[in-house]
Amino acid sequence: MRESGEDRLASGTQRLRTWRLILGGAVWVLLCLILLAYNHYPGRLALQVGEKSPRDVRSFRTVKYIDPDETQRLKEEAAERQEPVYSRVPTALTDAKNDLHRAFDLLETSSQDLSAAALKEAFPEVSQSSLSWFLSADQDTRQSVREGAVGLLEKAMERPIRDISETLAQARKELREAASREFRSRSAVELVGGALSGAVRPNRRLDAEATASRRQEAMAEVKGVERPLQAGDIVVLKGERVTHHHLAMLRALGLTSPWAAGGWSKSASLVLLVLLGVAFLGISARQFAPTTYQNIGHLVLLGLVICVTIFAFNLFLLPLPNLSMFFLPASTLIIAVLLSPHLAFAAAVVQSLLVGLAAGGSLTLTLPTLGSCMVALAAANHIWPPSRLVRASAQLAIANFFLSAAAGVLADVSWGELARNAGMAFGYGACAPLLALGAIFLLQRPFDITSHVRLLELSNPKEPLLQRLQAEAPGTYYSSMIVANLAEAAAQSIGADSLLVRVGAVHHDIGKLRRPGLFVENQFLLGTENAHARLSPYLSALVILAHVRDGVELARRYGLPRVIQDIIEEHHGTTLVSYFYHQARSRQSGPAPQEGQYRYEGRRPRSKESAIIMLADAVQAAAKSLSHPNSEKMESLVEAIVNERQRDGQLQDSELTFRDLSMLKESFTRSLQGLHLHTRMEYPSFMRILGEDASANTELPEKTSERSRSQTRSPERHAG
């Protein structure tokens, strides 16, 4: 029953999260639509032909627009120049020959029963004498006349005969002339000419659809007639009736409303585009930025950055349309640094499309803006420290200059406006990283985000907490730096966040600042004695266990990011302080001590980075205890420690794979070998100068080393 209840709770939590995402997406869509609609009030004009303009409108920039009247006139002329399309009539010749044969058959069959009126109807253009001549002729003559008429018909209909009266009349005339050349008898000429005139027909019929298509193609090939519209020119006066010419100028300036131009279809298209944009961002977050997708606060930040960017762009659209090359690259940098570069790419695409839509569907604004965002994304890792910020600003400024210039050439603007826009874009690119950096510092704390900018700041040795560690617990500080080097190299080997690992490792033992003299690495430098010799194993264990809790409290007091606090809390997991536990068991004659009293109360590592620091801390501490280290010992030591942590269940929540563990072992072994197995050169000249005194003094490091090894085998070494 308990498991069933947990399942129901998990299911309910998942449903609640789903509904929150749906509600958040709906609010996001609504905000985007409102911000896009802002363009129409009052800066936009939702006008139609015939309406009166509510105010004077002047051009706020130099553009070229298509003259609709002149363009339409040229299209009509092009259409009129196109010849009609006629299609072939495949049965025309057969039908004509059949009619011709029926006419002759009418004369030859029961000719005595035919009245003069019937013959006149069949041969309206043939005289009675010519008909009588044919009827009185012998069979060979009749057959010769018939065959001659068929031949003339076939020859005539080889040429195109269109179904227009002029063409058909011309064909009949030519047939009569051909008959006069073919036959000598006047009666035969008249008879054959009349029969052919009745039989011939058009073999080409007008194809209205193909003709219309040809004319449409001709009209489509006509390029629009461009007219210049200078900045400051009057577009339409208040109270003036709007014409197609006015709308063309307003459209070129991006001042027409999508709703006015297309009604509900345009509105539906706008809603669909926004929905697709939000869906694309959601899919990108789920696929490439799961941490952001699972964090409502991060999603709110994403929506906030995008909405504020669009609002700021809309606010300055009319006076400064290419200001998108300032706001959108800054937005891309903010999202890339605070959330995810993959998500920043998706956001850049969506924002560029929405900005283009806000500017009336202008590709000359969308494409340069998108290109600027891509350059900003490439420079996302170069906005801190300040020396690198200058480089990022320079890159973005140069890219903006050329992108704006290219857009100006494509838009065919004047050279003066092109230079002005390119210069402004250069300035926007130089300032965008500064805006992004300020926003990053402003947003990362309220949304509990640890950006690389913040991590680089925390890695500075002059950071107050690290300065305290150097001054009050120098041994702990130097030990932490070694752990940081080991962990950073290991993180790089498996593709984890190496900067986060380094900063976390440097801070992981700050809890030792509470009682620095009770930890062995500080005793020699601070000149203190081993206090654990006077304490019971349980009290010694309490001191060591407390440094995790003390570290978390100190991290909160100094405002360290939550992810660093988690690393401090998890860097020992729930491991056992085995030295004091076994010491207590050996000294206690009564019941065995409870193992739970000697285990850390922290959480097991929940991320790869936290687990790497746990392992690096363990192998670094253990490597110091090796009396005569060599490659085999180092490799065996690392293998044993990693396997022990794995068997103890400390790594089960860390998402580390077996492949990751194998690569971590190799990295730790390689780093430890470089740290402990190097040799030093002897300097004979130096030894000659020192002579015997130098030989005597060489015993001091050996004695010191022996005392150090003795201390590393003492109880307080387990504090690390």
User: pLDDT tens for residues 119-132?
Assistant: 666 677 777 777 77
Query: Residue 247 pLDDT > 60, yes or no?
Result: yes
Asked if 320 contacts 327 with a C-beta cutoff of 8 angstroms, the reply is no
Tell me 226's DSSP state. Answer: E
Query: Residue 488 pLDDT > 90, yes or no?
Result: yes
Cα distances (angstroms) measured from residue 7 to each of 3, 14, 19, 21, 295? 6, 11, 18, 21, 21
Name the pLDDT band for 398 (thresholds 50, 70, 90).
very high
273 burial type by CB count under 10 A (0-12 exposed, 13-18 middle, 19+ buried): middle
Question: Would you tell me the crossing angle of helices 415-443 and 324-338 to the nearest 10 degrees?
Answer: 30
CA distance 475 to 462: 17
Cα distances (angstroms) measured from residue 617 to each of 70, 264, 484, 498, 508? 80, 65, 9, 15, 9
The reported pLDDT for the residue numbered 717 is 40
The reported pLDDT for the residue numbered 592 is 72
pTM above 0.75? no
Which among 503, 451, 453 is positioned nearest to 339, based on CA atoms? Answer: 451
Task: State the average pLDDT over residues 608-630.
Answer: 88
- Compute the mean pLDDT over every residue in the chain, rounded to the nearest whole number: 79
The reported pLDDT for the residue numbered 640 is 92
Between 110-124, 284-298, 513-527, 608-622, the lowest mean confidence (pLDDT) is in 110-124
CA distance 173 to 376: 80
Ranked by mean pLDDT, which of 147-151, 385-389, 538-542, 590-594 comes out on top?
147-151
Query: Residue 593 pLDDT > 70, yes or no?
Result: yes
Name the pLDDT band for 62 (thresholds 50, 70, 90).
low
Query: Residue 654 pLDDT > 60, yes or no?
Result: yes
Ranked by mean pLDDT, which of 270-274, 341-345, 528-532, 690-694 comes out on top?
341-345
678 burial type by CB count under 10 A (0-12 exposed, 13-18 middle, 19+ buried): exposed
Count Cβ neighbours within 10 Å for each residue of 524-557 and write b for 16 or more, e otherwise. Answer: eeeeeebbbeebebeebbebbbbbbbbbbebbee
CA angle 534, 535, 538 (to 5 degrees): 160
Between 84-88, 641-645, 710-714, the lowest mean confidence (pLDDT) is in 710-714
Q: Which residues contact 387 (CB under 8 A, 6 or more apart)?
A: none
The reported pLDDT for the residue numbered 300 is 86
Hey, what amino acid is at 368? P
CA distance 307 to 28: 8
Between 26-30, 181-185, 287-291, 580-584, the lowest mean confidence (pLDDT) is in 26-30
Beta strand 204-206 pairing with 86-88: antiparallel
Name the pLDDT band for 632 (thresholds 50, 70, 90).
confident
The reported pLDDT for the residue numbered 323 is 79
The reported pLDDT for the residue numbered 263 is 46
The reported pLDDT for the residue numbered 696 is 36
Tokens at residue 399, please?
Answer: 């890219």
Query: Residue 689 pLDDT > 80, yes or no?
Result: no
Name the pLDDT band for 698 (thresholds 50, 70, 90).
very low
The reported pLDDT for the residue numbered 691 is 47
The reported pLDDT for the residue numbered 37 is 60
CA angle 188, 189, 193 (to 5 degrees): 115
Structural domains in the chain plus CATH codes: 2-41+258-449 (no CATH), 51-67+230-253 (no CATH), 86-206 (no CATH), 464-719 (1.10.3210)
Which among 15, 614, 654 is positioned nearest to 622, based on CA atoms? Answer: 614
Query: Residue 56 pLDDT > 90, yes or no?
Result: no
Name the pLDDT band for 686 (thresholds 50, 70, 90).
very low
Name the pLDDT band for 38 (thresholds 50, 70, 90).
low
Which helix (H) or strand (E) segment is 66 a member of? strand 63-66
Asked if 251 contacts 46 with a C-beta cutoff of 8 angstroms, the reply is no
481, β-bridge pairs:
none
Percentage of the chain exceeding pLDDT 70: 79
Q: Can you give the C-alpha Rg of the chain in angstroms?
A: 47
The reported pLDDT for the residue numbered 586 is 80
Asked if 501 contacts 612 with a C-beta cutoff of 8 angstroms, the reply is yes
3-state secondary structure of 259: helix
Query: Residue 367 pLDDT > 70, yes or no?
Result: yes
Name the pLDDT band for 118 (thresholds 50, 70, 90).
low
- φ, ψ of residue 235 in degrees (nearest 5): -90, -55
Q: Which residues contact 298 (CB under 8 A, 6 or more apart)?
A: 291, 292, 339, 447, 449
Tokens at residue 325, please?
Answer: 């090359």
Query: Residue 40 pLDDT > 90, yes or no?
Result: no
Between 8-22, 304-318, 428-442, 563-577, the lowest mean confidence (pLDDT) is in 8-22
Per-state percent for the chain, helix, strand, coil, to nearest 5: 70, 5, 25
Query: Residue 47 pLDDT > 50, yes or no?
Result: yes
DSSP string, 310-351: HHHHHHTTTT-GGGHHHHHHHHHHHHHHHT-HHHHHHHHHHH
The reported pLDDT for the residue numbered 197 is 84
CA distance 102 to 93: 14
3-state secondary structure of 599: strand
